[in-house]
Structure 1
């Protein structure tokens, strides 16, 4: 009887189909997969930038392009002194969709963080480097500079461009 159970077990194990193994997130992708992802991001960014430009045309507020490919409501902001790594800053911001629907009830707030050592959206970090204490700005951020393909796993879905109202404390 034990031999029969052993042979049946081996037979069942031999019948199991192998499942395709996918690389883990952050794992190795083929050149084709990398090119597909790169082209998707490039095309999505172009579409979003066109949509944001059209949105800006219909606004009473002026928005100006920044070198990192987002827009800010302060003209010539990059002419201000750029804060270097190591400088300390406190700030808060609210996140909206392009219908001006606030996505989180409370602002995201960070106190006494050091440039070069905090994790933040690149557009948020970039605009903070040019803002002075108590200064506010509105930035328009394509999804590639926001939460990208995966969203924030909470209120922000994948591939969502954002409006961010930020204030230096």
Structure 2
């Protein structure tokens, strides 16, 4: 009996010392969600670009400029002097703006938003407006056409601007105060 018990224990010991084997996954995940999301975003972007082109076609008298950042703009009032400069990092900008949808319906008026003060690239501001302010000089008024990814994107502003809403913003820069460390 002890001989049999010894053999059984020896066999258990040999089998229990086996190296662990990697387990195979139960299901294999693919990039299907990401692929579908990319496709959906490309379709949304194409739809917004077409709508923006339609707006620009209807208002041919405006000289639209395509920015390197992916939005369009035109000058309502352009500073003719070269002595004025565009803002740099840390400069303080005071400005007013309004927000409309692509149909021209006012979402927020200049009175709703009031005069804003912004430290260039040091505070939160939606991407398109931040990049647009970098193109402006004191006294200029520019109208920007922002696709939704340059505006408030997927989430909107959680108030009047909905998800994936392209916008038109008319911005006036009142002053640019140079940062003393520049």
Query: After TM superposition, what 4+ stretches of structure 1 lie above 6 angstroms from structure 2?
Result: none
Per the alignment, residue 162 of structure 2 pairs with 157
2:118 to 92, 113, 120: 113
Displacement after TM superposition at 1:119 (Å):
1.0
Displacement after TM superposition at 1:84 (Å):
2.2
Displacement after TM superposition at 1:98 (Å):
1.6
TM-score, normalised relative to structure 2:
0.66
Displacement after TM superposition at 1:107 (Å):
4.2
In 2, are the aligned partners of 1:96 and 1:103 still within 8 Å (CA)? yes
Larger Rg: 2
In 1, are the aligned partners of 2:73 and 2:145 still within 8 Å (CA)? yes
**Unaligned 5+ residue runs, structure 1?**
1-29
The two structures, once aligned, show a CA RMSD in angstroms of 2.3
Per the alignment, residue 52 of structure 2 pairs with 52
Per the alignment, residue 92 of structure 1 pairs with 96
TM-score, normalised relative to structure 1:
0.71
Q: Does 1:39 align with 2:39?
A: yes
Which secondary structure does the structure 2 equivalent of 1:56 belong to?
helix
Write the distance in 1 (CA, Å) between the matches of 2:155 and 2:116: 27
**Unaligned 5+ residue runs, structure 2?**
1-29, 79-83, 175-182
Matches within 5 A, 1:130-169: 130-169=135-174
Q: Does 1:61 align with 2:62?
A: yes
